[in-house]
Structure 1
Amino acid sequence: MNIVETRGLCKQYGQAMRVKQLNLSVPEGAVYGFLGPNGAGKSTTLKMVLGLAKPTAGEITVFGKHVNPHNRIAILKQVGSLIESPSYYGHLTGEENLRIVQTLRGAPEKDIQEVLSIVRLDGQKGKQVAHYSLGMKQRLGLAAALLGFPKLLILDEPTNGLDPAGIQEMRELICSLPGQFGMTVLVSSHLLSEIDQMADHVGIIREGELVFQDTLAALHARSRHHLALRTTDNGEAARLLGESRIPCTLEEGYLILPLLTDADAAKLSRFLAAHRVDLLRMEERQKSLEDIFLELTGKAASL
């Protein structure tokens, strides 16, 4: 079962289409990484799922129910979220801030101490939030999202502004949630390295369009080793390879082939030479995840 699905989801602001025909599928129990450059439409999409922005077109399904104005509140009672930056009352303590959210959400009072412990703020619960560090404020925002232990947790760039230790701590917390509490986590980021270390499913968005959606393993599979050949006649070489049922594609002056054994590579070299096609260069290559991200998004990856 998919916890979140969108079909043909669009959002237009004036003449600008920020989200275009988006079809997301977030499996139950997954940490789904929603990845893309800044400005790609990630936050806009998450706001539409949460009912904070009205879609221009398309439909949203959460927990198998089509979200509409009549059932939105009931559905959102089972959803926790942290969008952009956490909201808080600086003159109140961390515990007092959570008590307000707990009352509004109708969550059990005992949840306050439990979520403070989960995000490791139980030792700072009596401190005014105005005196919290940025990392502590992010963890307080996560604690507020965890109140009531929702089935779905939506986090928008939760590691923004954190130092390396804070990023590691936030990542470990997110990774533990499905196994510990049975939650599904939908987390957005522009950092490929972050998603690579916490997600098991990935959706990549570019200028409002979904350009990749699959498991993280499938994304890694795109970085398999391959051979790159340059010959005196790439067109003729491609024809000869096709006749020999060796798959190849032409990219930037090179023929790209699956990885061959040394014996098969030597045999291929002799085969081309016998047909008067000289081999100028043979390279073993592997695309990095960063290269794949660049290809999919058309923008410099943040690493």
Structure 2
Amino acid sequence: MNIIQTHDLCKQYGNALRVSHLNLNVPEGSIYGFLGPNGAGKSTTLKMILGLVRPTAGSIRVLGKDMDNSNRLSVLRQVGSLIESPSYYGHLTGEENLRIVQTLRGIPEKNIREVLQIVRLDGQREKKVAHYSLGMKQRLGLAAALLGYPKLLILDEPTNGLDPAGIQEMRELICDLPGRFGMTVVVSSHLLSEIDQMANHVAIIREGELVFQDSLEALHGRSRHHLALRTTNNAIARRLLAEQSVPCEEENGYLILPILSDEVAAQLTGFLAGNRLGIVRLEERQKSLEDIFLDLTGKAASL
């Protein structure tokens, strides 16, 4: 079952189409990484899923129900979210802030102590939030999102502004949630390295359009090894390789070949040399995930 499904989801502001015909499928129990450069439409999409922004066109299903006025409140009772930055009352303690949310949502009071332990703030529960560090405020926002033990948790850039220790702590908390509580977690980010360490499913958007959606394993599969060959005459070399049934493509002055055994590679280079072609360079390469991300989102995009 897909916890979230969108069909041809669009959002237009004036003449600008910020989200364009987006079809997302978020599997139940997954950590779903929602990636894209800054300004790609990630926050707008998440706000539409939560009913905070009205779509221009398209449909949204959350937890098997259409996200419309008749179902919105019943769906949101099973959803927790942290969009952009957490809201809090600085003059109140962490526990007092959570008690307000607990009262408004009609959630058992015992959940407050439990979620403070989950986000590792139980030792700081009586401290005023104005004196919390940025990382502690982010964890308090996560605690508020977890109060009702939702089936779906949506986190928009949860590691923004955190130092390396805070990023690692937030990542560990997120990774623990599906196995421990059976939650499905959607995490947006513009940092591929972060999603690579958390998610098992990934969607990548560019200028509001979906350019990739699959498992993280499938994304890694795009970083396959290959050989890059440069000769004194690549056009002739390509023709000769085709005669030997060796597939290749030309890219930036190199012939891109599949990985070959040492023996076959030696035979081919000998064959080319026998046809009076000089082997300028032969090297093994592998695309990094960052290269794949840049290819998908556009090299000029802001990361």
TM-score of the two chains, using structure 1 as the length reference: 0.95
- Larger CA deviation: 228-237 vs 34-43: 228-237
- What are the equivalent positions in structure 2 for 1:1-303 lying under 5 Å apart? 1-299=1-299
- Larger CA deviation: 292-301 vs 31-40: 292-301
SS in 2 for 1:29: coil
Give me the identity figure in percent: 78
**Quick check: 1:290–1:301 contact (8 Å CA) kept in 2?**
no
- Larger CA deviation: 282-291 vs 151-160: 282-291
Task: Indicate how the Cα distance of structure 1 residues 302 and 201 shifts in structure 2: closer, same or farther if over 3 A, else same.
Answer: farther
Q: Structure 1 CA distance, aligned partners of 2:196 and 2:132?
A: 29
What whole-Å deviation, never above 9, does each CA across 1:147-196 have from its counterpart, x for those lacking one? 11000000000011111111110000000000000000000011111111
- How far did 1:273 drift? 3.6
**CA-atom RMSD, angstroms?**
1.7
Q: Structure 2 CA distance, aligned partners of 1:109 and 1:41?
A: 37
Q: Which amino acid aligns with 2:213?
A: Q
Q: Structure 1 CA distance, aligned partners of 2:240 and 2:28?
A: 47
What whole-Å deviation, never above 9, does each CA across 1:278-301 have from its counterpart, x for those lacking one? 433211111111111111111468
Task: Indicate how the Cα distance of structure 1 residues 143 and 274 shifts in structure 2: closer, same or farther if over 3 A, else same.
Answer: same
Q: Structure 2 CA distance, aligned partners of 1:212 and 1:127?
A: 44
Q: Structure 1 CA distance, aligned partners of 2:243 and 2:60?
A: 48
Q: Which amino acid aligns with 1:227?
A: L
- Larger CA deviation: 239-248 vs 12-21: 239-248
TM-score of the two chains, using structure 2 as the length reference: 0.95
Q: Structure 1 CA distance, aligned partners of 2:293 and 2:220?
A: 11
Mark the runs of 5 or more structure 2 residues left unpaired by the alignment: none
Q: Which amino acid aligns with 1:112?
A: I
- Larger CA deviation: 152-161 vs 284-293: 284-293
- How far did 1:21 drift? 1.2
Q: Structure 2 CA distance, aligned partners of 1:230 and 1:66?
A: 55
SS in 2 for 1:198: coil
- Larger CA deviation: 138-147 vs 102-111: 102-111
Q: Which amino acid aligns with 1:36?
A: G
Q: Structure 2 CA distance, aligned partners of 1:301 and 1:197?
A: 22
- How far did 1:277 drift? 4.3
What whole-Å deviation, never above 9, does each CA across 1:122-160 have from its counterpart, x for those lacking one? 111111111111111100000000011000000000011
Q: Which amino acid aligns with 2:160?
A: N
What whole-Å deviation, never above 9, does each CA across 1:9-40 have from its counterpart, x for those lacking one? 11111111111111111111111111111111
Q: Structure 1 CA distance, aligned partners of 2:232 and 2:241?
A: 14
SS in 2 for 1:245: coil
- How far did 1:231 drift? 2.4
Q: Structure 1 CA distance, aligned partners of 2:179 and 2:202?
A: 18
**Quick check: 2:38–2:302 contact (8 Å CA) kept in 1?**
no
Q: Structure 1 CA distance, aligned partners of 2:65 and 2:277?
A: 61
SS in 1 for 2:197: helix
- How far did 1:203 drift? 0.9
SS in 1 for 2:196: helix
Q: Structure 2 CA distance, aligned partners of 1:204 and 1:275?
A: 45
**Quick check: 2:48–2:54 contact (8 Å CA) kept in 1?**
yes
Q: Structure 1 CA distance, aligned partners of 2:105 and 2:232?
A: 70
Equivalent pairs counted in the alignment come to: 303
Task: Indicate how the Cα distance of structure 1 residues 12 and 165 shifts in structure 2: closer, same or farther if over 3 A, else same.
Answer: same
**Quick check: 1:190–1:302 contact (8 Å CA) kept in 2?**
no
**Quick check: 1:192–1:302 contact (8 Å CA) kept in 2?**
no
Task: Indicate how the Cα distance of structure 1 residues 61 and 241 shifts in structure 2: closer, same or farther if over 3 A, else same.
Answer: farther
- How far did 1:302 drift? 8.1
Q: Structure 1 CA distance, aligned partners of 2:248 and 2:281?
A: 15
Q: Which amino acid aligns with 1:136?
A: M
Q: Structure 2 CA distance, aligned partners of 1:26 and 1:136?
A: 29
